[in-house]
Amino acid sequence: MNEEQIGTGTRRDIESPWALAWRRFRKNRLALFGGILLSLFILVAIFAPYLAPYEPNRTNVLVRQQGPSEDYLLGTDDLGRCILSRTMFGARISLSVGVVAVSISMFIGLLAGSISGYSGGIIDTIIMRIADVFLSFPFLILAITASAVLGPSIFNIMIIIGVLSWPGPARILRAEFLKLKNVDFVQAASALGAKHLRIIMLHMLPNAIPPLLVSATLGVASAILLEAGLSFLGLGVPPPDPSWGNMLNRARQLHFLSNMPWMWVPPGIAIFLAVLSINFLGDGLRDALDPRQE
């Protein structure tokens, strides 16, 4: 073996798992594209007050139902509001719903999954049967029912999606904990008298993060789609605050669909690109964090 091969082998042997994952991730062009596109959406959402040409809720009946023009690049809606501005501000709400809802579901799933996988026995059975009850009902029907009972609100949508989505992360974490319980370093920590919480937090949970990270990434895309669907049905973010879903709701009449495509095409494309970028990113993370990858 020559010096170059020895150097390469040594470098790979000492490379951290996260560095290896980043090196794999960089080779995935679709994942890089998804990450860049998602970053652009996040920047637009953060700086929407500075990038938007008009206030999103400002009405002007003199320019209502106007097509794309120099003053209104994406046209105006039936109340004379700027479609471009509302699409930019809609990114703030749609992405916020996705991130906050997934954070709630991950927190609940982390608690339930770690307790279930580590404890086993009757506790594991009870938690998993509760998860099965949640999974036995159609998700969208539950979300529509809960939204109708609680009322349309951005905070209600975040809570509904988060609370109904916890079984997925919980089952993933439980499966990881069941595997990690029999690993040597966990058995050694237990034999040395380490407390259960210390074993979970320092030895098991860090090694179970990669699949949870992938699940969280893909969960954001699902939450954005669900928020858009509920808002389209009038059960999501209430007007006049713009979200991509209620912008589509505003344009669902046949007159708008056929004669004013600028009212529904921009938010529809925004949803498509945001979900596509997140899915590309999630697939890239899954491949990068897979230890079986070369």
Which pLDDT does position 191 carry in this prediction? 75
CA pair distance 110, 107, nearest whole angstrom = 5
Which pLDDT does position 272 carry in this prediction? 92
> What is the percentage of the chain residues whose pLDDT exceeds 70?
92
Rounded average pLDDT over 92-96 = 89
Between 267 and 194, residue with greater pLDDT: 267
**Is the pTM of the predicted complex or chain greater than 0.75?**
yes
DSSP 238: P
- Do the beta carbons of residue 29 and residue 288 sit within 8 Å? no
Q: Is the pLDDT of residue 175 over 60?
A: yes
Q: Is the pLDDT of residue 169 over 80?
A: yes
Phi-psi region of 75 (alpha: psi -120 to 50; beta: other; left: phi over 0): left
Mean residue pLDDT of the chain comes to 84
Phi-psi region of 217 (alpha: psi -120 to 50; beta: other; left: phi over 0): alpha
Whether residue 240 has a cis bond before it, omega within 30° of 0: yes
Rounded average pLDDT over 259-269 = 90
Which pLDDT does position 4 carry in this prediction? 45
Which pLDDT does position 273 carry in this prediction? 93
- Do the beta carbons of residue 161 and residue 97 sit within 8 Å? yes
Among the listed residues 140, 145, 152, 142, the one whose alpha carbon sits nearest the alpha carbon of residue 234: 152
Which pLDDT does position 292 carry in this prediction? 52
Which pLDDT does position 50 carry in this prediction? 92
Which pLDDT does position 86 carry in this prediction? 93
Q: Is the pLDDT of residue 290 over 70?
A: no
**Range among 1-10, 189-198, 262-271 rated most confident:** 262-271
82 bridge partner residues: 76
Which pLDDT does position 285 carry in this prediction? 81
Which pLDDT does position 100 carry in this prediction? 92
Which pLDDT does position 39 carry in this prediction? 92
Is residue 245 exposed (0-12), middle (13-18) or buried (19+ Cβ within 10 Å)? Answer: buried
Which pLDDT does position 18 carry in this prediction? 66
Q: What is the pLDDT of residues 123-161, one digit of tens each?
A: 989 999 999 998 888 888 888 888 888 888 888 889 999
- Do the beta carbons of residue 51 and residue 89 sit within 8 Å? no
CATH architecture of 96-242+249-294: Orthogonal Bundle (1.10)
Q: Is the pLDDT of residue 7 over 60?
A: no
Read off the pLDDT band of 42 (50, 70, 90). very high
Which pLDDT does position 62 carry in this prediction? 86
